[in-house]
Structure 1
Amino acid sequence: MDPFDRTVGDPDREGGALPSSPTGRVPQWVLDEAAGVRVDPIPWRSPGPPPRPVRRRGRRLLRGLLVVPLVVVLSLVAAVLVGPSTSPWSSVTPAPPTAVPSATPPTPTSPPDRPTAGIEAARRPLGTPLPAPPEGGPYGFIAFQPDGVTPVTYDPCRPVHYVLRPDNAPPGGEEAVHAAFARLSEVTGLRFVHDGPSDEPTTLDRPVFQPDRYGDRWAPVLVAWETEEQNPALAGDTVGQAGSVAVSLGEGTRVFVSGTVSLDAGRLPEILSFRDGAETVRAIVLHELGHLVGLAHVDDPAQLMYPEARREVPDLGPGDLTGLEVLGSGPCVPEL
């Protein structure tokens, strides 16, 4: 048995309180919620009557759950790959194809719990991250290598595939997701490839290797619009959850191989209906994708990774960009 060392990041939870009309108090939306992961109030401009206020959860709870945030749900669960193993795995731009490629079964010599090593691996990174702004800014990471300093990253030498589950997706929702992935690719240099729709039933307890569905490769990142019934983490103020799973071969380098992004199918469509709603939802998704690739929350309200979403910060701040340059400069790990 070769115990795959798997690292599962905890899900980042988002929530928000909708403010009253323009003549009332300023509208807000709480994005991040648990695990110091995201409780973000966000002011809105609404064309019509404002939605009912939603109870916000305290910052103390957020900080207490910081390690269980968005990306935490898929954070670090080291997986030790040393030989064949049957232990179960729980999981993890843009020129999108119209459908998921046909699955190619693993070769007879492939380990039963992971794909053949080096699938799609190139000899050098596929892109180059943007240089960090000279002024810098605060940033943090969710998962680390055994040294406790070096962050866990996706492999820059191979593409990161993602699929969308179309059910419950609101008009304009898919476009917001693709726009967020494109922005993240521009900043990190990571290449994100949309594989089309998927019929995976849930983002919870998801295997990162699904050869019958996706063939001999790591399962793509799954993005889904889910209800509170489908994902209880979206109850109350939570409007999003995301994270990635990291694995390693024995004592080797840990690397993220897949992840999930769960978006509130009830609340986010409301935001999309507001003026500037598409830009707001893109920022929410981009915040989640920041967690997906390894960013943690910060205390600076000028950063997109601040636990509270702010209309004044619709895009990545200097600290976010500095952290993402590091996350886009990780090692190539062809042995996985």
Structure 2
Amino acid sequence: MSPSDHPEQPLGGAGPVPSSPSGRVPQWVLDEAAGLRVEPMPWRGPGLPPSAPRRRRGRRALRALVVVPSVVLLILGAAVLVGPGSWPWTAVDAALPSAVPTATAPPPTSPPDRPTAGQESARSPLGTPPPPPAEGGSHGFIALQADGVTPVAYDPCRPVHYVVRPDNAPPGGEEVVHAAFARLSEVTGLRFVHDGGSAEPGTLERRVFQPETYGDRWAPVLVAWETEEQNPALVGDTVGQAGSVAVSLGDGPQVFVTGTVSLDAGRMPEILSFRDGATTARAIVLHELGHLVGLGHVEDEQQLMYPEARREVPDFAAGDLTGLAALGRGPCVREL
């Protein structure tokens, strides 16, 4: 659909949605995932990365913020498991209400900082990503293994569970989330399983292992619609965060085991109310989920992971798909 089919529309008190003669509009969820960062880092907008303070003409972009959350957004972005001792950042809050009624605590012999090894792990990947497009394209990863080449990814031999906190969800919002996860599964071969709702209080200060809430397994990915009060990182023009936590066993490969996606409960309803708002919201969530599984930003404006939304790119493009195919072929680590 051409840009002319998308007239500027008001976004709350922020005035009309910015656009440019080329048809670009800001992607309000722009999170500069670069490494396993543990503190929110401001993204300065297209044309203003820290190393190149030059503004591009003819483009306006809302300021955005990027985060690849750690367990408590403090101390560490990746953990190395070396024995039965607890991680220093597991003791965060009191027990949370269970989102899975049948969840049970791990057996006494389980290490206190992680689930029993090999939970739900199959002998081979549960799915296979389609071959990457022959033409390839620009793509990047937020973290690499020790070899400096292989991207850190989720274990393809076990499902990636996710829950959605229903509080503040806009009408149609959860459907957009499920559609985005389904699309992500198609292009990575990873199997995503929706476990239902969650009563977790928020995406910040979150433990990766919550046996009192989710049983003897890694905590599922948490998707939440949050206010600025719940997540101060959403203050201003920022309407989303996404990222995952990687762990490793000794010198073994790093593996993402869980993550969070935070969507602005105030802005997303307005986005969904626009003409073709569901398509715009889906593209935003897809961009976020790309970061969740390990994609970083690229400078190629033809890719969805370009840090400025374009109506001509509502879905993953060739470069994105090339990177996602690699992320779907991560190592299977039964020891975790």
Is TM > 0.5 for Structure 1 vs Structure 2?
yes
Q: Which runs of 5+ in 2 are unaligned?
A: 1-13, 35-42, 52-63, 92-98
Q: CA RMSD in A?
A: 2.6
For residues 25 and 77 of structure 1, do their structure 2 counterparts lie closer, same or farther at Cα, with a shift above 3 Å needed? closer
* Alpha-carbon distance in 2 for matches of 1:72, 1:31: 17
Question: Partner of 1:19 in structure 2?
Answer: 16
1:222 aligns with 2:218: no
- Of 154-163 and 305-314, more deviation after overlay is shown by 305-314
Residues 73-114 of structure 1: per-residue CA shift (max 9 Å, x gap): 3498332212111224469xxxxxxx7352121011100000
Question: Partner of 2:158 in structure 1?
Answer: 158
1:176 aligns with 2:176: yes
Residues 36-66 of structure 1: per-residue CA shift (max 9 Å, x gap): 77xxxxxxxxxxxxxxxxxx954466557xx
Aligned to 1:28, which of 25, 33, 38? 25
1:108-187 to 2 correspondences below 5 Å: 108-187=108-187
3-state SS of 2:263 partner = strand
Runs of 4+ in structure 1 off by over 6 angstroms are 24-27
- Match for 2:237: what amino acid? D
- Match for 1:201: what amino acid? P
1:87 aligns with 2:84: no
The answer to whether the 8 Å contact 2:85/2:113 transfers is yes
The answer to whether the 8 Å contact 1:139/1:296 transfers is yes
* Alpha-carbon distance in 1 for matches of 2:88, 2:65: 23
- Match for 1:168: what amino acid? N
Cα drift, residue 21 of structure 1: 9.7
Q: Which runs of 5+ in 1 are unaligned?
A: 1-16, 38-55, 92-98
Question: Partner of 1:6 in structure 2?
Answer: none
- Report % sequence identity: 73
3-state SS of 1:268 partner = helix
TM-score by length of 2: 0.80
Question: Partner of 1:243 in structure 2?
Answer: 243
For residues 34 and 156 of structure 1, do their structure 2 counterparts lie closer, same or farther at Cα, with a shift above 3 Å needed? closer
Question: Partner of 1:72 in structure 2?
Answer: 68
The answer to whether the 8 Å contact 1:29/1:309 transfers is yes
* Alpha-carbon distance in 2 for matches of 1:288, 1:58: 16
- Of 241-250 and 78-87, more deviation after overlay is shown by 78-87
Cα drift, residue 72 of structure 1: 2.5
For residues 270 and 320 of structure 1, do their structure 2 counterparts lie closer, same or farther at Cα, with a shift above 3 Å needed? same
The answer to whether the 8 Å contact 1:70/1:292 transfers is no
1:284 aligns with 2:281: no
* Alpha-carbon distance in 2 for matches of 1:328, 1:36: 18
* Alpha-carbon distance in 2 for matches of 1:121, 1:57: 40
* Alpha-carbon distance in 1 for matches of 2:316, 2:22: 27
The answer to whether the 8 Å contact 1:131/1:325 transfers is yes
* Alpha-carbon distance in 2 for matches of 1:80, 1:134: 37
Aligned pair count reads 291
* Alpha-carbon distance in 2 for matches of 1:101, 1:195: 11
The answer to whether the 8 Å contact 1:244/1:259 transfers is yes
